[in-house]
Amino acid sequence: MTMAISEENVVETTAVARRPSGKTLWLLAPGVLWMVLFLVVPILMMVYVSFWTQTTFKIEPTLTVKSWVTFFTSDTYLGALWTTVRIWLLVLAATLVVGYPAALFVGLFVKNKTLSTVLLVLCVIPFWTSFLIRVLAWRPMLGKEGAINMILMKLGIVTQPIEVLLFSELSVIIGMTQIYCVFMVGPIAFMLGRIDPSVIEAAQDLGAGFWRIFRTIILPLSMPGVVVGAIFVSVMVLGEFATSAALSGRKVNLLGNIIVTQVGSLKWAFAAVAGVVLTILMGAVVAALLRVVDLRKEL
Amino acid sequence: MSAVLQLKHVAKSYGDLRALDGIELSLPDNAYISLLGPSGSGKTTLLRVIAGFEEPDNGSIFFGGRRIDGMAPHKRGIGFVFQNFALFPHLSVAGNIAFGLENREDEPVSDQRVVARKVRDIVALVGLSGLEDRAVTQISGGQRQRVALARTLVTEPKMVLLDEPLGALDANLRSRMRSELKAIRERCGVTFLHVTGSEAEALAMGDTVLVLDRGRIAQSADSDTLYNRPASPAVARFLNCYNLFSGDVVDEAFVCQAGRFAVGGARLRAREPAYAIRYDRVAIRAKDAPVSPEEIRIEGNFVASEYSGAAVNSFFTLDDGRVFEVESHLSHAAPETYSAQARYALVWKREDALVYA
């Protein structure tokens, strides 16, 4: 920032035209400062700490790759990595399957803009309740004596309560899908709402049926929304630990849960390794998703 | 020339608004038809009803001998060119043009060589050669217009509906595309129905011009007849080249607020009596200049004039406050200068006026 000040003084006399852009750069200062202090420095620290020497009771700044070797040779850690990827893919697919048709309805088939806005706001209403309450509310729904099992048994559809509903991978996926679905619906509905209705009429006039139009026009034009939605959902699900802690009965361990546990037992180096792995994974996922669609064209 | 499209008593309402109020229409094959109407006259609705995007509440539509109302748009054999072109933004020029061939439900063309050949032919016809692989976001307005036309023409429709096709283009390009559109139509030999709000465009392009007024066809005629003999005061008003007076015919004279005009010219039947005199049939004279018995004279105060190259339009206010417009062609004489707020005599020949009664 001091650089910017001295440069400003130098150019002031010579290049009048550059002055506004030099001044507007100051708008970035609070954001840049915030991000450097609370994002860039912590990430660099995390990478650094992951190479520190961890003993049972303390951690020393002597560089070693021991924690990394432990992470990649341990079944627990690799298993958690695999579970994270698996849950992420399943939740991503589930939010897409549940969210896309809803977005299609709100964004494309509801012609009244006011009504579609109201419907999108309705999607956000669950956020009025805190995150933890929403997660925990699944327990009385999915439990052995929960609402779903009670109804199914009353109706005579099942005789024994379905135990797999709660404290399993399924309950984690159900919980996460419900929480993150709206982040998929929003961007897709937004992109679909931007499609000019006459483009679809033109395709009809040229003789294409609904599925053809969906495949060749609607889906490609909504892809930027799908990608943005997928980035939201992916970043949030990959970093999750609360839903799996609350709904899996400790049976599902995500990388997030590993980090929480390691930090809890002061194993900073292991936590840092898991953190770096998770960060790289998220970066790779976001980079891969951004390759699907050129978002620059949409802005 | 046989009738290719017939509309019988077609009506369509949106709530209380009667967008189409009993349209009777018969269009010839292989012709350029322009459909002229002020905004809100129902011209887009009429086009959408013919295309099949809207269904009429009443009446029937026949196309090539078949009844087509109630039929899906693409089964009608009628192409539609949208006002904003409605190109598929994610496809290339060739992709847009090939869309109908590849994706239609009835007999889609799966042989890529056939598609490529048809696309190549139509691209040459509309003059887009060399741009096939461009994205439609990277071409100019005129070129997008051609893509929209080619995309429809490649499916070989028997008729093409164009919804204000030149509206999105700048003035310069618009006049060039006019002749271009006519040439393209002649090359493929189908009927074009061109909707426009511009009287100049309608007169310049149409072999037949239809005028739509408040949901009804007010007149269907060739350009010359339409311009010289508008069928009703409403049509005359919309052509934007007539001074109109409303009043009544009393004893072989038209009586209105501006005065009493002896009737001598053409008389046309209309519900509301009106007197119409073309802007360019009026002479401006000094207040005390002599008048022959064949001439009609009123007085007005000069307000301003507007120079447009070939002609100059002068505006006068009459005693009742109405604006009276006079168009003087500069090939006849050098432009006169009039002084503002001065009083002049406005004179025309009796037989040049149209009387509606």
List, for residues B2-19, the tens digit of each pLDDT value. Answer: 678 989 889 888 888 888
Chain B contact for A210 (CB, 8 A cutoff): no
Mutate to test the interface with A, among B49, B88, B109 (most CBs of A within 10 A): B88
Q: What integer pLDDT is reported at residue B71 of this predicted model?
A: 87
Closest Cα in chain A, distance from residue B104 (Å): 4
Closest B-chain CA to A223: B90
Q: What integer pLDDT is reported at residue A36 of this predicted model?
A: 95
Assess whether pLDDT exceeds 70 at residue B237: yes
Chain B contact for A207 (CB, 8 A cutoff): yes
Asked if residues B262 and B252 have their Cβ atoms less than 8 Å apart, the reply is yes
Residues of A in contact with B104 (CB under 8 A): 206-208
Contact B90/A212, CB-based, under 8 Å? no
Two tokens, residue B146: 């051609």
- Please give the Cα distance from B160 to B99 (Å, whole number): 17
Residue B7 makes CB contacts below 8 A (sequence gap 6+) with B23, B24, B25, B26, B50, B59, B60, B61, B62
Closest Cα in chain B, distance from residue A211 (Å): 10
Chain B contact for A221 (CB, 8 A cutoff): yes
Contact B152/A220, CB-based, under 8 Å? no
Choose the closest CB to B105 out of A196, A198, A207. A207
Q: Give the number of other CB atoms < 10 A from CB of residue B115.
A: 18
Residue A107 makes CB contacts below 8 A (sequence gap 6+) with A116, A188, A189, A190, A191, A192, A193, A222
Chain B contact for A204 (CB, 8 A cutoff): yes
CA-to-CA dists, residue B207 to B43, B193, B216, B239, angstroms: 18, 10, 20, 17
- Dihedral sign for Cα A71, A73, A77, A79, please: positive
Q: Give the number of other CB atoms < 10 A from CB of residue A202.
A: 28
Contact B51/A196, CB-based, under 8 Å? no
Residues of A in contact with B152 (CB under 8 A): 205-206
Mutate to test the interface with A, among B75, B84, B103 (most CBs of A within 10 A): B103
Chain B contact for A75 (CB, 8 A cutoff): no
Which one-letter amino acid corresponds to residue B103? N
Residues of A in contact with B51 (CB under 8 A): 205
Closest B-chain CA to A196: B86
Size of interface A-B (CB pairs under 8 A): 69
Contact B82/A204, CB-based, under 8 Å? no
Q: Check residues A271 and B265 and name the one with the higher pLDDT.
A: A271
**What's this model's pTM, rounded to 2 decimal places?**
0.78
Asked if residues B177 and B166 have their Cβ atoms less than 8 Å apart, the reply is yes
SS (H, E, C) B295-306: EEEEEEEEEEEE
| Residue whose structure tokens are 């005061």 | B233
Contact A199/B89, CB-based, under 8 Å? yes
Residues of B in contact with A198 (CB under 8 A): 82-84, 86
Residue A102 makes CB contacts below 8 A (sequence gap 6+) with A123, A181, A185, A189
User: Roughly what angle, to the nearest 10 degrees, separates helices A66-73 and A75-104?
Assistant: 70
Choose the closest CB to B84 out of A198, A204, A209. A198
Mean pLDDT per 10-residue section of chain A, whose length is 299 residues:
42 49 84 94 94 85 90 91 95 96 91 88 85 88 88 88 87 92 92 91 90 93 94 94 88 90 89 94 94 74
- Please give the Cα distance from A295 to B44 (Å, whole number): 35
Closest Cα in chain B, distance from residue A196 (Å): 7
Coil, helix or strand at residue A173? helix
Residue B238 makes CB contacts below 8 A (sequence gap 6+) with B36, B37, B38, B199, B211, B213
Q: What integer pLDDT is reported at residue A11 of this predicted model?
A: 43
Read off the pLDDT band of B216 (50, 70, 90).
confident
- pLDDT, chain B, mean: 88
Residue A81, phi-psi category: left (phi > 0), alpha (psi -120 to 50), beta (remainder): alpha
**What ipTM score was computed for the predicted complex, to two decimals?**
0.78
Q: What integer pLDDT is reported at residue A14 of this predicted model?
A: 47
Per-residue pLDDT tens over the stretch B16-36:
888 888 888 888 888 999 999
Q: What integer pLDDT is reported at residue A35 of this predicted model?
A: 94
Q: Rounded to the nearest 5 degrees, what angle is found at the Cα of B82, between the Cα atoms of B77 and B88? A: 95
Residue B307 makes CB contacts below 8 A (sequence gap 6+) with B335
Q: What percent of chain B has pLDDT over 70?
A: 99
Residue A169 makes CB contacts below 8 A (sequence gap 6+) with A83, A87, A248, A251, A252
Q: What integer pLDDT is reported at residue A20 of this predicted model?
A: 56
Contact A207/B104, CB-based, under 8 Å? yes
Per-residue pLDDT tens over the stretch B156-198:
898 999 998 888 788 888 888 888 888 889 888 889 999 998 8
Choose the closest CB to A205 out of B79, B84, B88. B79
Two tokens, residue B145: 């217009």
Two tokens, residue B207: 């072999």
